């Protein structure tokens, strides 16, 4: 036996793997066990894959395994089982070049196997001199894992990135295309390029659904009831189960079909592939493998794989993946080898890092730009499920289970019911033996107790509330693809918001420009649209430095670029395909000012008209674009002005970045102050810079030059100030959330001070609260990582210049004295993405303390947003995330409740999508979540009480060897329970959010207290009625001739006639009738008692279907009690009792109702206090980690950190347990 190995190490789906091989004697033993248990053992092994493997196999090394057992390393510890298969191939490595080899790469160890595939055999025939190699692999979750001799583990081949190719290698070694043989060889490993969502057959789905433990239990119940001659009730349960299974199958099938259609649309297209001999051949996209070179057609296409552009440019709509409908320009991958200085900057190719050069699967290429005679080519990087779209589909097909206390507690609750059933089981056996009942009856009646205690309608009842909530959400424009999450949304106590497009308007408005001349800022101007500025570098930069393009005559692109370009009033012209084809190089995009802005030149009479037009023309051609990169926070273009010899470079981006790339003497001295002034007021600031390029830089050299050569020694031109207005709904919604004690956090890609300003404007940070900026610096030159703390001051609205950060001196005493009452609300942390990364790596013990009060997280990359959500969840917050889908996909998926404000297909990643494009959907979702959660509790409590009430009735009746009749069971379960359960779930959500949160689990003090008290009340009143009836003067053992009601002779005969067949069960008697009446009313009493309204749901009297059902049932039961109808009495097998006893039953029921309502009211009022009084010794330790932390920090004198102080991570040699002395991750 060997240690467990880990596959997918460090990834989200990391798993431990163990190897097993089949054992014959174990298989034989299991076979015997299956026969002896009537097939039940087989079911048990089906439900428990780990038991199945351990019961039928012996442990072996992973290398020699026939089966592998995998267990996820996350908190869910799920088990998976996979069969190891063997294929024959000419080599082990998909990237081996078979054509150039003469000897075999490795030798197989002997015998062939029947698992080989036909394409592999064809290849082996082609390469007859090769010794075929056996390759072991298994498939799990649409991913193939191959055995690797080098790592001695199973590995996944994702694509070209496995080779760790550099950018120059992509151009030099992978741009020529593959031969057909190489392609076929690679396809053995990478499979068909297709994201195949197989829609399972109805039969397969049916088997899977029916083998659910719950339906097996129902099947067992039905067989038992049939054996006990309860045919009608058994038939009713079968009917309900069939409807439930059919509905479930329909929903699952519909989801599969929807996903299949979404994926299948355009997934198989015809593509042009370049072969190794430079031939172009047509092929199906399913044949593509990593390393193939495909030609992107000029009229666009839907990408069938992930590919990196090696020549030309493309305009792509990536809404399928990102949710952003703005077209993106993709340029070819830079080739550092052709640059001026050799290999400088030649990094490894990575889809994430080079996404501006990568075309992703499922995205729509709208247009391509190309050189004449040169095609737009892309090298296939990943295919099938390894692509970006494939990963998205996999996350939908194989989602992580939703871990929620309610569902765990529900299982515990059922176990408690099973335990109660066990007691009844033993009691009925002992009682029956004492009364010498036949063995068959003993078995049936004992098992019957179990089926009574575990209610068969429970799953249907639990889902009803969620289905109704989903419908209500749909009505207010919120769509849900993961209904189980609705309940979890009722628990949210923290919501993260993206800023742009979520809290603020999507577009930015140009507020003004501030130009720089002679190293100092000029006064700010409202608009650059002036004749005097038309030929200035500042306006040229605004007009040329963008990635805008014309699609069907309309200029489109990034909204910010668009606003800037429109402010100049210039005109953008693009070359048509015909013009591009005529010239021997790419025709640049041209921008020029409108005629009316150009100064009128003086015309001499003898001047040539053509020359005149040329001299008046002022045009700028964009020769090369370096697209905007969020990692670099800038974009750059190389342009040539008409008639000029030298080219110009224009740069725009984040002011701090642009200033760092400019000559020091061109940046004004008060740059930092001016920038801070604008950002504190919430403006988005963009800086511009310019540089004249050397004359030796020709057009061809520019096409291959590295951007670092261009983006250096720039001249600082000035600032563009954009205004990002808050959406009108934002402040109100945030105030509602604050009043409801729900924390709000801003996670944005924008500048820190802008984000803090917006947070103050929208009320996320109250005006009196302090903001502490955590500036974390990574280890440098042997120094440990450190955090500099500084306090951001409150913005002074009326002053023209805001004071600088460093001037703020504030001692901790000042802060805490002013806010002694609420210390936890007196300060907020703000940090940038860079600081967050350093803190995550070097200050792990400090991270929980920072996220406890962190309100602004600026300049956050998409994966950092996900990490933040995880960090918040790790301190037991229930986290909601609201974003516009663009770069929030990961965080939306990871949060407990993610709401996307984008209606595009990216919303597939998010459990909820809102049609209203503002954050007003957040409180609505939380309200509905709370209502659904409380409904689940009500239903669960009611179903538990229903089974216990019935259990009490049956147990009492067993003591006199009686039972409830078939139609009595039927009436209770169908007429009372089902109608009540499905109508009590209809209460709509309460109008506003309240500060109190509903309990998260069923196992909470007040809830259990409520259930236990109601059980005791019901038990007490049923026992009282049961014992009291036998004490009545008229009471004697009931026989068909009994005359407690002075029956007429005719009805006596009919009763006698009917009784002959029911005599065995002793159903008809005074105890049975009394308990039937009392218990029927008890079901209605607990339904009303448990139907809670305020503060999470509307009161029950507003739920008219429930009121109508309850009143109708009350009326019918009272009618039954007081009006003698022999037909109904015979049907329900009840006997006649004197009027005085009926009035006594009514009194018992009335008293029961009064006591139940009073006790439940008391539990609501004093339940919390009673429970905390009973458990006073543990009261002070809060359950949630964040509460525990807040308690600790409130008495920590060194927290929050003082301004202008520094916290250092301890260097590795001496690990200590002091404050934040963390060993940096190496």
Q: What confidence tier does 666 reach under pLDDT thresholds 50, 70, 90?
A: confident
Q: What is the mean pLDDT of the chain?
A: 80
Would you state the pLDDT for residue 610? Answer: 47
Would you state the pLDDT for residue 564? Answer: 86
Helix, strand or coil, per DSSP, at residue 281 = strand
pLDDT digits (tens, 9 = 90+) for 130-162: 678 889 999 998 899 999 888 889 999 888 888
Helix, strand, coil percent values for the chain (each to nearest 5):
45, 20, 35
Would you state the pLDDT for residue 1149? Answer: 95
pLDDT of 184 higher than 70: yes
The mean pLDDT value for 678-684 works out to: 79
8 Å CB contact between 161 and 117? no
Q: How far is CA 1035 from CA 1028, 1031, 1044, 1065, 1068, in A?
A: 10, 7, 8, 20, 14
Which residue carries 């224009």 as its tokens?
Answer: 650
Rounded CA separation 149/245 (Å) = 47
End-to-end, the C-alpha distance of the chain in Å comes to 33
Helix, strand or coil, per DSSP, at residue 893 = helix
Burial class for 465, CB neighbours closer than 10 Å (0-12, 13-18, 19+): buried
Which residue carries 């990582």 as its tokens?
Answer: 785
Residue 681: DSSP 8-state = T
8 Å CB contact between 316 and 365? yes
Rounded CA separation 1115/660 (Å) = 83
The mean pLDDT value for 1044-1062 works out to: 45
Segment holding 995, helix H or strand E = none
Rounded CA separation 992/1029 (Å) = 50
Helix axes 921-958, 439-453, angle to 10 degrees: 160
Active site annotation includes 306: no
**For 795-801, which contacts have Cβ atoms below 8 Å and span 24 or more sequence positions?**
795/680, 795/681, 795/757, 795/760, 801/673, 801/677
pLDDT digits (tens, 9 = 90+) for 1172-1219: 666 554 555 667 888 888 888 888 888 888 877 788 776 554 444 444
Nearest partner of 750 among 775, 722, 718, 727, judged by Cα: 722
Helix, strand or coil, per DSSP, at residue 197 = coil
pLDDT of 885 higher than 70: no
pLDDT of 87 higher than 60: yes
pTM, two decimals, is: 0.74
pLDDT digits (tens, 9 = 90+) for 691-729: 988 888 887 788 778 888 888 888 998 999 888 788 888
The one catalytic residue in 228, 409, 498, 677 is: 498
Handedness of CA 279, 285, 289, 291 (dihedral sign): positive
pLDDT digits (tens, 9 = 90+) for 622-639: 888 887 776 678 889 999
CA angle 263, 265, 267 (to 5 degrees): 70
Would you state the pLDDT for residue 119? Answer: 64
Which pairing describes strands 509-517 and 520-521: parallel, antiparallel, or unpaired?
Answer: antiparallel
Would you state the pLDDT for residue 69? Answer: 92
Nearest partner of 187 among 165, 159, 162, judged by Cα: 159
Would you state the pLDDT for residue 1111? Answer: 94
Helix, strand or coil, per DSSP, at residue 486 = helix
Rounded CA separation 936/659 (Å) = 58
Rounded CA separation 951/453 (Å) = 6
Rounded CA separation 888/497 (Å) = 10
Burial class for 459, CB neighbours closer than 10 Å (0-12, 13-18, 19+): middle
Any bridge partners for residue 295, and if so which? 272, 377
Helix, strand counts (H, E) of the chain: 40, 41
Token couple for 209 = 């659904």
**For 642-647, which contacts have Cβ atoms below 8 Å and span 24 or more sequence positions?**
642/617, 642/618, 643/614, 645/695, 646/692, 646/693, 646/694, 646/695, 647/623, 647/692, 647/693, 647/697, 647/702
Higher pLDDT, 551 or 990: 990
pLDDT digits (tens, 9 = 90+) for 205-236: 888 888 888 788 888 888 888 887 778 778 87
Residue 1200, preceding peptide bond in cis (omega within 30° of 0): yes
Nearest partner of 456 among 289, 287, 217, judged by Cα: 217
pLDDT of 799 higher than 50: no
The per-residue b/e assignment along 833-852, b for 16 or more CB within 10 angstroms, e otherwise, is bbbbbbbbbbbbebbbbbbb
The mean pLDDT value for 582-610 works out to: 62
**Number of residues in the chain:** 1226
Q: What confidence tier does 813 reach under pLDDT thresholds 50, 70, 90?
A: very low
Rounded CA separation 749/833 (Å) = 8
Which residue carries 């009595």 as its tokens?
Answer: 968
pLDDT of 83 higher than 90: yes
Token couple for 448 = 């019957």
Rounded CA separation 1168/362 (Å) = 54
Rounded CA separation 691/697 (Å) = 13
Rounded CA separation 793/850 (Å) = 19
| Alpha-carbon radius of gyration of the chain | 37
The mean pLDDT value for 236-247 works out to: 81
pLDDT digits (tens, 9 = 90+) for 327-342: 778 888 887 765 544 4
Would you state the pLDDT for residue 120? Answer: 65
Which pairing describes strands 494-497 and 743-747: parallel, antiparallel, or unpaired?
Answer: parallel
The mean pLDDT value for 97-118 works out to: 44
Rounded CA separation 749/654 (Å) = 11
Would you state the pLDDT for residue 309? Answer: 92
Higher pLDDT, 413 or 1113: 1113
Residue 974: DSSP 8-state = I
Least confident of 42-51, 580-589, 1046-1055: 1046-1055
Rounded CA separation 548/560 (Å) = 10
Q: What confidence tier does 1059 reach under pLDDT thresholds 50, 70, 90?
A: very low
Which pairing describes strands 743-747 and 770-777: parallel, antiparallel, or unpaired?
Answer: unpaired
Higher pLDDT, 428 or 289: 289
pLDDT digits (tens, 9 = 90+) for 488-513: 899 899 999 988 778 887 667 788 88
8 Å CB contact between 906 and 322? yes
Rounded CA separation 1177/314 (Å) = 68
Q: How far is CA 164 from CA 6, 156, 179, 347, 550, in A?
A: 22, 14, 22, 10, 37
Rounded CA separation 224/237 (Å) = 12
8 Å CB contact between 1117 and 1081? yes
Would you state the pLDDT for residue 1167? Answer: 64
pLDDT digits (tens, 9 = 90+) for 186-195: 998 999 998 8
């Amino acid at each position: 036996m060997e240690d467990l190995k880990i596959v997918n190490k460090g990834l989200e789906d990391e798993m431990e793997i163990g190897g097993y091989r089949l054992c014959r004697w174990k298989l034989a033993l299991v076979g015997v066990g299956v026969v002896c248990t009537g097939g039940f053992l087989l079911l048990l092994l089906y439900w428990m894959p780990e038991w199945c493997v351990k019961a039928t196999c012996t442990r072996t090394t992973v290398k020699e395994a026939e089966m592998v057992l995998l267990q996820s390393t996350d908190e869910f510890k799920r088990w998976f089982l996979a069969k190891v298969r063997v294929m024959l191939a000419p080599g082990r490595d998909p990237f081996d070049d078979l054509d150039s080899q003469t000897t075999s790469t490795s030798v197989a160890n002997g015998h062939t196997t029947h698992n080989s595939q036909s394409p592999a055999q064809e290849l082996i025939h082609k390469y007859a001199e090769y010794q075929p190699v056996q390759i072991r692999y298994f498939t799990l979750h649409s991913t193939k894992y191959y055995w690797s001799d080098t790592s001695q583990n199973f590995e996944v081949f994702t694509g070209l990135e496995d080779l760790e190719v550099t950018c120059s290698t992509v151009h030099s070694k992978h741009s020529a295309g593959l031969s057909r043989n190489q392609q076929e060889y690679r396809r053995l490993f990478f499979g068909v390029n297709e994201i195949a969502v197989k829609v399972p057959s109805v039969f397969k789905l049916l088997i899977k659904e029916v083998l659910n433990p719950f339906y097996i239990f129902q099947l067992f119940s039905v067989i038992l009831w049939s054996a006990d001659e309860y045919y009608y009730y058994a038939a009713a349960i079968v009917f309900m189960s069939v409807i439930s299974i059919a509905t479930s199958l329909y929903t699952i099938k519909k989801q599969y079909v929807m996903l299949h259609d979404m994926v299948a649309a355009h997934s198989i297209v015809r593509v042009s592939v370049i072969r190794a001999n430079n031939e172009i051949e047509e092929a199906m996209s399913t044949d593509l493998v990593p390393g193939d070179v495909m030609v992107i057609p000029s009229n666009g296409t839907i990408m069938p794989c992930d590919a990196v552009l090696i020549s030309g440019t493309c305009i792509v709509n990536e809404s399928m993946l990102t949710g952003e409908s703005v077209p993106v320009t993709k340029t070819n991958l830079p080739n550092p080898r052709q640059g001026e200085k050799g290999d400088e900057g030649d990094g490894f190719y990575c889809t994430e890092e080079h996404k501006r050069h990568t075309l992703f699967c499922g995205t729509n290429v709208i247009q391509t730009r190309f050189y004449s005679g040169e095609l737009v080519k892309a090298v296939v990087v990943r295919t099938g499920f390894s692509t970006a779209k494939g990963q998205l589909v996999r996350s939908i097909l194989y989602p992580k289970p939703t871990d929620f206390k309610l569902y765990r507690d529900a299982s515990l609750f059922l176990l408690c019911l099973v335990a109660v059933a066990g007691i009844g089981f033993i009691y009925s056996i002992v009682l029956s033996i004492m009364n010498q009942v036949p063995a068959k009856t003993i078995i049936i009646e004992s098992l019957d107790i179990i089926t009574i205690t575990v209610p068969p309608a429970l799953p249907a009842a639990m889902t009803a509330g969620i289905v109704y909530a989903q419908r209500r959400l749909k009505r207010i424009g919120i769509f849900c693809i993961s209904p189980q999450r609705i309940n979890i949304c009722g628990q949210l106590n923290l919501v993260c918001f993206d800023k742009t497009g979520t809290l603020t308007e999507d577009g930015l408005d140009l507020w003004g420009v501030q130009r720089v001349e002679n190293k100092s800022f000029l006064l700010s101007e409202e608009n650059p649209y002036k004749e005097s500025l038309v030929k200035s570098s500042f306006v040229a930069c605004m007009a040329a430095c963008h990635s805008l393009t014309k699609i069907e005559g309309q200029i489109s692109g990034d909204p910010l670029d668009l606003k800037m370009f429109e402010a100049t009033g210039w005109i953008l012209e693009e070359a048509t395909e015909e013009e591009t084809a005529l010239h021997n190089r790419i025709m640049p995009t041209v921008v020029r000012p409108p005629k009316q802005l150009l100064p009128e030149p003086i015309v001499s009479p003898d001047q040539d008209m053509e020359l005149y037009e040329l001299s008046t023309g002022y045009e700028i051609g964009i020769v090369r674009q370096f697209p905007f990169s969020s990692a670099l926070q800038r974009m750059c273009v190389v342009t040539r002005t008409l008639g000029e010899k030298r080219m110009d470079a224009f740069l725009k981006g984040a002011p701090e970045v642009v200033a760092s790339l400019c000559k020091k003497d061109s940046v004004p001295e008060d740059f930092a102050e001016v920038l801070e002034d604008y950002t504190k007021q919430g403006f988005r600031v963009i800086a511009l810079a310019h540089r004249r390029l050397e004359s030796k830089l020709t057009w061809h050299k520019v096409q291959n030059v590295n951007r670092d050569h261009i983006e250096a020694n720039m001249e600082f031109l000035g600032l563009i100030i954009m205004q990002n207005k808050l959406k009108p709904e934002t402040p109100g919604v945030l105030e509602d959330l604050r009043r409801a004690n729900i924390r709000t956090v801003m996670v944005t890609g924008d500048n820190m001070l802008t984000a803090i300003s917006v947070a103050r404007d929208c009320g996320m940070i109250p005006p009196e609260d302090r903001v502490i900026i955590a500036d974390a610096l990574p280890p440098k030159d042997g120094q440990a990582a450190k955090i500099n703390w500084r306090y951001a001051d409150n913005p002074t609205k009326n002053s023209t210049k805001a004071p600088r950060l460093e001037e703020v001196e504030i001692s901790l005493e000042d802060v805490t004295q002013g806010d002694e009452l609420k210390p936890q609300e007196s300060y907020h942390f703000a940090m940038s993405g860079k600081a967050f990364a350093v803190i995550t790596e070097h200050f792990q013990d400090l991270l929980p303390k920072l996220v406890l009060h962190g309100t602004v997280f600026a300049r956050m990359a998409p994966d950092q947003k996900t990490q933040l959500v995880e960090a918040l969840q790790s301190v037991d917050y229930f986290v909601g995330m609201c974003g516009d889908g663009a770069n929030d996909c990961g965080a939306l998926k990871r949060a407990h409740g993610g709401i996307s404000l984008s209606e595009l297909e990216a919303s597939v990643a998010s459990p909820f999508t809102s049609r209203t494009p503002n954050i007003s959907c957040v409180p609505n979702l939380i309200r509905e979540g709370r209502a659904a959660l409380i409904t689940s509790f009500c239903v669960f409590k009611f179903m538990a009480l229903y089974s216990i009430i019935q259990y009490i009735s049956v147990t009492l009746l067993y003591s006199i060897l009686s039972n409830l009749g078939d139609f009595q069971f039927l009436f209770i379960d169908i007429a009372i329970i089902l109608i009540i359960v499905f109508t009590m779930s209809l209460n709509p959500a309460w109008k506003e959010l309240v500060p109190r949160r509903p309990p998260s689990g069923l196992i909470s003090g007040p809830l259990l207290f409520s259930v236990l008290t109601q059980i005791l009340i019901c038990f007490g009143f049923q026992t009282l009625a049961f014992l009291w009836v036998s004490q009545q003067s008229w009471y004697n053992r009931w026989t068909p001739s009994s005359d407690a009601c002075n029956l007429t002779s005719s009805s006596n005969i009919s009763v006698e006639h009917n009784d002959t067949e029911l005599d065995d069960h002793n159903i008809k008697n005074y105890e049975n009738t009394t308990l039937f009446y009392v218990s029927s009313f008890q079901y209605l009493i607990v339904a009303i008692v448990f139907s809670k309204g305020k503060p999470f749901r509307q009161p029950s009297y507003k739920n008219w279907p429930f009121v109508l059902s309850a009143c109708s049932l009350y009326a019918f039961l009272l009618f039954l009690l007081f009006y003698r109808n022999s037909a109904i009495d015979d049907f329900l097998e009840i006997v006649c009792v004197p009027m005085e006893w009926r009035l006594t039953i009514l009194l018992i029921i009335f008293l029961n109702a009064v006591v139940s309502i009073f006790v439940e009211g008391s539990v609501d009022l004093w339940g919390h206090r009673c429970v905390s009084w009973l458990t006073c010794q543990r009261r002070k330790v809060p359950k949630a980690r964040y509460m525990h932390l807040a308690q600790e920090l409130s008495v920590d004198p060194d927290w929050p950190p003082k301004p202008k102080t520094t916290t250092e991570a301890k260097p590795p040699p001496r690990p200590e347990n002091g404050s934040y002395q963390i060993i940096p991750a190496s």
